């Protein structure tokens, strides 16, 4: 209870400080948000309507519109057992030239697709391997820490971060310090085409952490947690191809997987996507066969108003699994 109270006090203090700073600088506050309303059917026992995401955030620059300091506060409205707001991002950044330092609670720079906003990815969901194996996967992929990033729009980027390692919205004396490193390089970068290759690294000495997306429920892991990945992305006009491989070495055990995704935009509003992905976890009760995805999105107003239809298929040894998702996305600010 004391830990939760302390966390709430920290959040309130940050809000007050940022509010006062914005007022002092006569800052124009940017309010943003989007809603994803979804229908899904697995053709067996699950048919439902749900609010998949309802995110709201405020951000801005200090001072005014030309400052080096920036901030962001973001919350997500989740429909699970009960409706609830969860704090996702509370961060401040300082940027000068190509260097940027970010501190607070945010998504560590690990995985190409995890750093891409979910409202802009061509499918309704990120690949399973990304959702499961990024650091902080059990707590909205976020952690509390500080990160230094060097980025150049022409050559690539390099980042290094140091985090608490216990996940988002968590105050703990347990030492699970997390180190994250990511680098990317443009081998081709012009107005018509781009080719980017990169890598990801993370390490922590874990103590009694629950990685439910890897082991399942009721299992605590202690030991060396080393994760790495490779990524690539190619843009050729209206065609895009990207892929990643991620592996988590947890002691003597390993979980791993990949995805490859291709999409093509035609007539400015029609996006067709093909994807294959496979995730091998350490839970014996799950099926690890690949999933094949066929998706279509009609961009009514770009990503601001978008209607998407995804069809997933998994051909297991004894049956075929399928999932169809229809989603409407509405962005407002």
pLDDT given for residue 25 in this prediction: 45
Contacts of 140 (CB under 8 A, 6+ apart): 76, 86, 88, 168
Give the percent of the chain with pLDDT over 90. 79
Amino acid 318: pLDDT:
86
87, 56 Cβ separation under 8 angstroms: no
Res 15: pLDDT: 54
Domain range for residue 43? 2-332
pLDDT at 171: 75
- Work out the angle at residue 107's Cα, subtended by the Cα atoms of residues 104 and 112, and round it to the nearest 5 degrees: 150
Average pLDDT, integer, range 212-240 = 96
256-311: per-residue pLDDT in tens? 999 999 999 999 999 999 999 999 999 999 999 999 999 999 999 999 999 999 99
Task: Say what the pLDDT of residue 246 is.
Answer: 98
The pLDDT score that the predictor gives to residue 84 is 74
Output the average pLDDT for the chain.
90
For every residue of 157-189, DSSP letters joined together read: EEEEEEE-SS-TT--------EEEEEEEEEEEE
CATH of the domain at 201: 2.40.160.10
**Secondary structure of residue 141 in the 3-state scheme:** coil
Express each pLDDT in 65-82 by its tens digit: 667 999 999 999 876 556
Q: Taking a C-beta distance cutoff of 8 angstroms, is the pair 68, 94 a contact?
A: yes
Domain count, the chain: 1
Find the mean pLDDT for residues 211-233: 96
What is the torsional sign of CA 165, 168, 172, 173? positive
Name the token pair of 97. 């030239």
| 120/36 Cα distance (integer angstroms) | 12
Please answer whether residues 120 and 113 qualify as being in contact, where contact means their C-beta atoms are separated by less than 8 angstroms. no
- Paired tokens of 87: 């704090």
Tens of pLDDT along 20-38? Answer: 544 444 457 889 999 999 9
Q: Omega of the bond prior to 4 within 30 degrees of 0, cis? A: no
Q: How many residues does the chain have?
A: 333
For residue 5, pLDDT over 90 is answered with: no
Tokens 């996967």 — which residue? 137
Strand-strand pairing, 253-266 and 47-62? unpaired
Tokens of 47: 């048919």
Would you state the pLDDT for residue 24? 42
Q: How far apart are CA 64 and CA 62, in angstroms?
A: 5
Backbone φ, ψ for residue 216 (5° rounding): 95, -170
What pLDDT digit, counting tens, does each position of 81-111 carry? 566 778 999 999 999 999 999 999 999 999 9
Q: Is the pLDDT assigned to residue 11 strictly greater than 60? A: no
């Amino acid at each position: 209870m004391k830990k939760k109270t302390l966390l709430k006090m920290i959040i309130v203090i940050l809000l007050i400080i940022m509010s006062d700073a914005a007022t002092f600088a006569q800052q124009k506050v940017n309010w943003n948000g989007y809603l994803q309303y979804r229908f899904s059917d697995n053709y067996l026992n699950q048919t439902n309507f749900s609010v998949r995401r309802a995110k709201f955030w405020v951000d801005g620059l200090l001072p005014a519109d030309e400052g080096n300091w920036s901030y962001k506060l973001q919350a997500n409205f989740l429909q699970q057992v009960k409706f609830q707001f969860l704090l996702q991002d509370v961060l401040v950044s300082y940027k000068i030239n190509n260097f940027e330092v970010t501190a607070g609670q945010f998504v560590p720079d690990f995985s190409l697709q995890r750093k891409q906003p979910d409202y802009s990815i061509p499918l309704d969901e990120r690949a399973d391997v990304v959702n499961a194996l990024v650091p902080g996967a059990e707590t909205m992929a976020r952690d509390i820490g500080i990160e230094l990033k060097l980025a150049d729009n022409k050559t690539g980027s390099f980042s290094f971060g140091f985090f608490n390692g216990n996940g988002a919205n968590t105050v703990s004396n347990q030492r699970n310090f997390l180190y994250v490193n990511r680098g990317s390089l443009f081998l081709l970068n012009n107005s018509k085409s781009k080719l980017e290759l990169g890598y990801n690294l993370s390490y922590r000495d874990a103590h009694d952490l629950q990685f439910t997306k890897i082991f399942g429920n009721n299992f605590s892991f202690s030991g060396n947690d080393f994760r790495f990945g490779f990524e690539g992305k190619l843009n050729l006009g209206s065609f895009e191809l990207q892929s990643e491989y991620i592996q988590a070495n947890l002691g003597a055990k390993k979980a791993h997987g990949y995805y490859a995704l291709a999409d093509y935009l035609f007539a400015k509003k029609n996006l067709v996507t093909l994807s294959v992905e496979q995730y091998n976890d350490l839970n014996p009760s799950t099926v690890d066969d690949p999933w094949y995805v066929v998706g279509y999105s009609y961009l009514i107003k770009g990503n601001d108003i978008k209607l998407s239809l995804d069809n997933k298929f998994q051909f297991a040894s004894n049956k075929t699994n399928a999932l169809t998702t229809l989603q409407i996305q509405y962005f407002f600010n």
